Structure formats: structure tokens, C-alpha cells
Amino acid sequence: MSETKEKIALITGCSSGIGMHTAIDMAKAGFRVVATMRELSRNTRLLQAAADAGVAELIEVRRLDITEFDSLAAAVAEIVRDHGRIDVLVNNAGYALGGFAEDIQLDELRGQFETNFFGHVALTRAVMPVMRAQHAASGVGGHIIMISSISGLVSNPVTSSYSASKHALEGWSESLRVEARALGIKVVLVEPGAFDTDIWERNVRIGKIALTDFSPNRDRARRFANVVKTKLKKGDTRVVSRLVTKIAQDPNPNLRYLVGRDAVVRYWSQRLLPWKFYEKMLAKYAEID
Ligand SMILES: NC(=O)c1ccc[n+]([C@@H]2O[C@H](COP(=O)([O-])OP(=O)(O)OC[C@H]3O[C@@H](n4cnc5c(N)ncnc54)[C@H](OP(=O)(O)O)[C@@H]3O)[C@@H](O)[C@H]2O)c1
């Protein structure tokens, strides 16, 4: 076990997007980062970005699939063996399943929850004893930062599975936040709007029948897919990674951080506009009426 004073961050889903940029920004801020990904062969972009930023020394890549639940405790134990502690856990890994609710099969919905909800729950539960012990020894537990989504607060049509998984994460984390206070563990939810990552391209997942002739909604689903491609504006991912890095250094962070203008607009429109007007506007934008 190394007797180091540097802060150790464990981040999931670092092969691209928010996870990758957060690994870089946290290393730039002085954290030693254990950047995990489920396929080590996808480490190229992260390693290149780390070299370009001059922080390769501070980033260590390890394999971790958050749905391999039985392996998580051992993975955490290895990190503690090698680094002595875990100060920050960023639960970032995830994907979005698209398709009308009527067309999504139960196994597809379960798969969405396995990653976006149960994966985060399982890893959090594996890390909590480490932070609990740190708090008992030094008075400082750690930060657990959940990369949720505006879809965790406001549901979108045609991504009911994703919205449901993020709503579950929001509810679970809100309870955990209060439970973990006494342990010196700060639980935080980050709720981004649309940001330019692989989630919209390489990692996009569509229900098996959603766009096929087996779906009674196929024409509307195809129109929606086109709306996502043509109308949706996506922000610079670094805005999210910088925010996460700031939260990780804040000894007294808030519970929630909405990030992106679209997230703020969506959140407040749903709360302030009359529901019937709001839903009409949303269906019109999504071209599904
Ligand atoms: N970008 C947005 O607009 C947006 C908005 C709101 C919230 N978010 C949230 O931000 C988080 C990161 O997404 P992103 O936008 O950065 O997308 P991304 O570029 O597709 O990154 C997702 C990462 O999660 C990894 N992953 C997926 N399943 C995994 C598993 N079972 N175990 C470990 N890693 C797994 C992917 O690994 P592989 O390389 O192996 O696929 C990839 O590294 C997600 O939780 C997403 O819901 C994104």
C-alpha cells in the first residue's frame, strides 16, 4: 500500500466522452486517476489525450465492466492495495436506449437498468466501505459523483428506458446523499443536457424492433431519429468534465448540478409551463404526433 497524500479518483467509462475528458481534467487538477473501461483495446484516445495534456503519468487505465457485478469488490480492493485509498468515485459509464416504449422488449429495458442503474449502485456499494474507513481514520470520506442526465429529472419521448434508468439513479442517490452525510461521503448528481460524445453515434442503441416493419411506430420512430440527427445541438463535453473536476475539489458540494443551457431550459419549462401546453410543444419538436 502506498503512503501517498495525492487524491485518488476512480472513473468508469473512460474510453470516450465525459469519462475520458474527466480523467484528463482531474489529472490536470492533480488527482491520480484510475481510468476504467470495459475494453482495454479502446484506450487509444484516452492515452493520446493524456499524452497531449502532459498528464500520462497521473492516469492509470484498468479494465472494469460495471455490469460484471461479482468482479467489482475485487477491482476496488486492488485499487486500495495499490493506492491506499479512493477519494472520488465518478460513476459515469452508460448508454442510451432509443425506441418507443411500446416497442422496447423487457430484456432491453432490463439491460438499460443493468448499466445505468444497477452498475452504479453495485460499484458505489463496493467503494463505500473504503470511504467509510477513510472517514473513521481521518474525518474525510470522499465524493461519489453520479453522471445522471437531465433525463433523470425530465423524461423525453422515445427514450423512456434511458429516462427511467436515470430517474432511478436520481431517486437512489438522493436517499444515499442523506444516509452518507454522517460518513463524510458527499453524493452528487450531475445532470447534463446534450453534449457531443459517442453516446449519439458509436454507442447509440436502438430497440431491436423500434425502426423495423415489426413496429407500429416505425414511421414516427424514424422521424424522431432524424430530429435527433438534424435538430439537436450538442455542447462541448469539456464543460461537463471541468464541472465534475470542480465538484470533486469542493468539500461541500450541492446535491444537483444541471449543466448545459438546454438542460436548464428543459427543467424549468416542464416546471413552469402548463403540462398540456408543454407536452404538445415536446411532441411537436420530436415530430411524433
Ligand atoms: N453526452 C450526452 O449528451 C449526455 C447527456 C446526459 C448524460 N450523459 C451521461 O454521461 C455518461 C457518459 O456518456 P457519454 O456521453 O460520455 O457517452 P460515451 O462517449 O458513449 O461514453 C460512455 C462510456 O460508457 C462506457 N460503458 C458503457 N457500458 C459500460 C459498462 N457496462 N461498463 C463500463 N463502461 C461502460 C462506454 O464504453 P465502451 O467504449 O466500451 O462502449 C464509454 O466509455 C453516461 O452515463 C450518459 O448517460 C451523457
Options 95, 162, 278, 285, the catalytic residue:
162
| Eight-class DSSP state of 112 | H
**What is the whole-number distance in angstroms between the Cα of residue 255 and the centre of ligand 1?**
21
CATH number of the 8-205+236-264 domain: 3.40.50.720
SS3 74: helix
Q: Whose CA is nearest to atom 44 of ligand 1?
A: 94
Residue to mutate (ligand 1; options 11, 38, 169, 266; most atoms within 8 A of CB): 38
Residues 189-208: what's their mean pLDDT? Answer: 95
Query: Looking at residue 2, what is its pLDDT?
Result: 44
**For residue 91, which atom of ligand 1 is closest to its CA?**
45
3-state SS, residue 245: helix
**CA proximity to 240, closest of 190, 173, 188, 200:** 190
Q: Which residues pair with 147 in a beta bridge?
A: 190
Q: Which three cell numbers stand for residue 109?
A: 429495458
Task: Give the distance (Å) from ligand 1 centre to CA of residue 58.
Answer: 22
Nearest protein CA to atom 46 of ligand 1, as residue: 94
pTM of model > 0.75: yes
List the beta strands (DSSP E) in 42-87.
Answer: 59-63
- pLDDT, tens digit, 9 for 90 and up, residues 126-161: 999 999 999 999 999 999 999 999 999 999 999 999
The distance in angstroms from the start CA to the end CA of the chain is: 60
Distance 93 CA to ligand 1 centre (A): 4
pLDDT at 162 over 80: yes
**Which of 199, 200, 229 has most ligand 1 atoms within 8 Å of CB, for mutation?**
199
> What's the pLDDT at 1?
41
Distance from the CA of 153 to the center of ligand 1, in angstroms?
Answer: 18
- What is the rounded average pLDDT for all residues in the chain? 96
C-alpha cell at 135: 472517514
Give the whole-angstrom CA distance, residue 114 versus residue 94. Answer: 10
Alpha carbon of 79 to ligand 1 centroid (Å): 22
- The domain limits of the chain are 8-205+236-264
Q: Is the pLDDT of residue 234 over 60?
A: yes
- Helices 120-138, 160-180: inter-axial angle, 10-degree rounding: 20
Query: What pLDDT is recorded for position 250?
Result: 98
5-60 pLDDT, tens per residue?
799 999 999 999 999 999 999 999 999 999 999 999 999 999 999 999 999 999 99
Q: Please state the atom number of ligand 1 nearest to the C-alpha of residue 192.
A: 6
Closest C-alpha among 162, 155, 154, 287 to residue 221: 287
Percent of the chain with pLDDT over 70: 99
94 Cα: distance to centroid of ligand 1 (angstroms): 4
162 noted as active-site residue: yes
pLDDT value of residue 200? 92
Of ligand 1's listed atoms, the one at least distance from the Cα of 67 is 31
Residue 4 has pLDDT above 60, yes or no: no
Q: Which residues line ligand 1 (CB under 6 A)?
A: 12-13, 15-19, 37-39, 42, 65-67, 92-95, 115, 119, 147, 149, 192, 194-195, 197-199, 203
- Our measurement of the distance from residue 11's CA atom to the centroid of its chain's CA atoms, rounded to an integer in Å, reads 10
Q: Are 142 and 131 in contact (CB under 8 A)?
A: yes
